[in-house]
Structure 1
Amino acid sequence: MRLLPKSKDLGWVPYMWLIYLCGMPATLVLSKASPLQWALNLAGILVFLALYFRAHWVEGRSLMWIIAAMTLLGVAFVPINPGGVSYFIYAGSFAGRAGAPRVGVRILAALVVVIAIETRVFHLTPYFWFPAVLFTLMIGAVGIHFAERHRDNQKLTRAQEEVERMAKVAERERIARDLHDVLGHTLSLIILKSQLAARLSEKDPQRAAREIQDVERISRDALAQVRSTIQGYHSRSLAAEAEQAKNALHAVGVQVECDIGTTGLPAAQEGVLALALREAVTNVIRHASATTCRLSLQQTNGSWRLQIKDDGCGTPAPEGMGLTGMRQRVEALGGNLQREVAGGTTLTIILPAVTQ
């Protein structure tokens, strides 16, 4: 059974504090106490030790009861052994852990009152009450100070742990969003090209072979993008993403009008727009049943405006994970995302222009 809880802050210090108990037997030796007095004092010390070690396991109201019990030991033993003043000092040393600093101050004030009453009732000399009050207040004040520091350190530790937990959650959410956007588009393109290669395998073997080569290239590109996603960065430019979007749309028979070139955007903004374009084109391929699609990027009135417009079915639908993730990325950079459904679907992403 452990006497003290596991704590780096405690160490051997609680055992060192027990040196103040030496005053009890020393006084008995000097006064040539009787066997009965020795027995009573040893019993008191055993009760105190049980309270002392228990005090390191509890806080708040439970600790206040232990402080009260130590005070009663002092009241009971001081008349027969002046060394019993140690019990008041120990009670004061735990005042800081009983609650807020004001609670500790009240406990110390109560101890001083008890010592004063004891002095008055038993006509104790200044040799008793002066060191009793001095050491109780001094050690109690130090205890209050260090207890408050310990509480502040605990709050700081909990805050740091919460920040780390939130950072881990945010990183998991980022990876989930990015993997959805990266793989959703790429896997759709792989499926389409694989189906096309299967249909062309007998009619046009050479073209089917080219489609299979494209599948291999796209798969390798997807693997590289997954690795970069997990590492936390994306190196694909918006122009390169637009080129892949055109190829993907052409593969499913959608006519494309593209007005996206080299932008000179900051990396963070270009990465967000590239992922937004990928997700939007993936949705066009999967759900729109469109025949034409227009991709455009314009800089107007201090902002960049990316628009993806198709002539598909334009059926209103709740936002899925991809669109939600897209909106979160855009809003994180101070932009906004607008989705209009009328004679097709128009997705508009607006980001404020930022100087690199």
Structure 2
Amino acid sequence: MSNAFIKKLSPPWVPARYGNAPYFWLLSFAMFAWKYLYMPLTGSEILLLAVSFLFFLPIYFYSFWISGWRIYLCILINCALGIAWARYNFGSSVFCIFAATMCSRIHNSRKAYEGLAAVALIVAAASFLMRLETYFWIPALIFSIPSGLGAIIGERLASSNASLLKKQEEVEYLAALAERERIARDLHDLLGHTLSVITLKAELAGKLMDRNPVACKKEIYDIEHTARQALAEVRAAVVGYRATGLAHELQSAKSVLDAAQVELRTEIDQLTLPPAVENVMALAVREAITNIIRHAKASQCEIKLSQGNGLARLEISDNGNTSHIDKLSKGNGLNGMTERVQALGGKLDLFVTQGLRIELSLPMKELI
């Protein structure tokens, strides 16, 4: 005990979570002065009081940092100090009150209450056997029990608050991590699609430069418009908001596929989709069209949207080659699409037929 005891002799003497309260509690030793309002204070008593306080204070501050058998030892020492002084100064009951409050430092709640009961029993037994004055044992019992109960309850509440704060910090960390992943997925979809469109239109503009300057000028204008639109969407995604909508993505898909000379066929039922479902489907269309332009080398693309059994179903298929499917399955785009669908309780399937077919099924009910 000596090394830890010596270490705690230097400030801070109490853990920061207690604040300055433990120092103010020491003012309760004013009870010792009550006797000397009507009786003279002798030199021997001054010496004994000084020795007692100098012995008590290190033990008191030490009790804030320890556990196990050491805290029980501190409790017993304080009870002994109170009982030893009882015949000479009934204000010594304050030692027993401090012993009761030290029970709050016992980590096990049941043992803490048992320790408090033991303090009360020791005071009662010593008072009966030693026939101590009521001026000692009545305050010792009356104030020790509620003080000890309050300290134990307060300690448990502080511990619960600390645990709750720690869990809250973990939740905030996980939420921040999820938000970063969401932004990463969104930026991948936004930039991947937009850069593919810009590349395609730039290639087309290069081919039209000599043959059809008017059409070339239109493609260059489209590149500028697409770049500006992408910049706005990236800014919106960074702040957590993006309101493109499925209709906008279908219109954009038609424009891009026309530029790539891919025929688009659509069968779109008129549905009122929950915002979260519409957002996931819009992003799925964006990612699928990007993959068709980059890898599939398709001549036809078909998009179907329907509803049945409480589910919204989106199907995107093409007649292109399927040699890129392994690479597609390992890419960030498809993984991000799958994560979004699963987060809403939906399902995503890939089928290889004459080309690649992606099917999404999402519940129509908005998640709370």
TM-score range for the pair, normalised by the shorter chain length: 0.7 to 0.9
The gaps in structure 2 that reach 5 residues or longer are: 1-10
Distance 1:221 1:60, change over 3 A: farther
Query: 8 Å contact 1:256–1:292 — kept in the other structure?
Result: yes
SS of equivalent to 1:279: helix
Pick the aligned partner of 1:351 from 344, 362, 368: 362
Q: Secondary structure at the match of 1:314?
A: coil
* Aligned counterpart for 2:97 among listed residues 89, 110, 121: 89
Q: 1:352 to 1:141 in 2, by over 3 A?
A: closer
CA distance in 2, matches of 1:66, 1:204: 95
Note if contact 2:63-2:105 (Cα within 8 Å) is conserved in structure 1.
no
Q: Which runs of 5+ in 1 are unaligned?
A: none
Partner of 1:23: 31
Once structures 1 and 2 are overlaid, which stretch shifts more, 102-111 or 122-131? 122-131
Q: 1:52 aligns with which of 60, 69, 80?
A: 60
For 1:238 and 1:138, the matched residues in 2 are separated by 65
C-alpha distance 62-187 of structure 1, shift in aligned 2 (>3 A) = farther
1:98 lines up with 2:106 in the alignment: yes
Please name the residue that 1:222 is paired with.
230
CA 1:321/1:242 → structure 2, altered by over 3 Å: closer, same or farther?
same
2:242 partner SS: coil
The question of whether the paired residues in 1 share the 8 Å contact of 2:64 and 2:105 is answered with no
Once the two structures are TM-superposed, the CA of residue 261 in structure 1 deviates from its matched residue by 6.8
8 Å CA contact retained: 2:274, 2:365: yes
| Structure 1 position 280, deviation (Å) | 1.1
Aligned to 2:335: 324
Shift of 1:216: 0.6
1:112-191 matches, within 5 Å, as 112-191=120-199
CA gap of 1:184–1:148, structure 2 versus 1, over 3 A, is same
Matched AA of 1:74: G
| Rounded Cα–Cα distance in structure 2 between residues aligned with 1:68 and 1:11 | 26
**Contact 2:86–2:132, Cα closer than 8 Å, also in 1:** no
1:40 is the counterpart of 2:51 = no
- Kept after mapping to 2: 8 A contact 1:60/1:97: no
Question: Alignment length, in residue pairs?
Answer: 353
**Cα deviation digits, residues 63-113 of structure 1 (max 9, x gap):** 445334433433544455443321111111232232243222111111123
TM-score (norm 1): 0.87
Identical amino acids, percent of aligned pairs:
38
8 A Cα contact 2:205 2:216, kept in partner: yes
Q: Match of 2:81, as an amino acid?
A: L
C-alpha distance in 2 between matches for 1:67 and 1:208: 90
Question: When the two structures are superposed, what TM-score results if normalisation uses the length of structure 2?
Answer: 0.84
Query: Distance in 2 between the 1:319 and 1:64 partners?
Result: 61
> What is the CA–CA distance in structure 1 between the aligned matches of 2:38 and 2:160, rounded to whole Å?
45
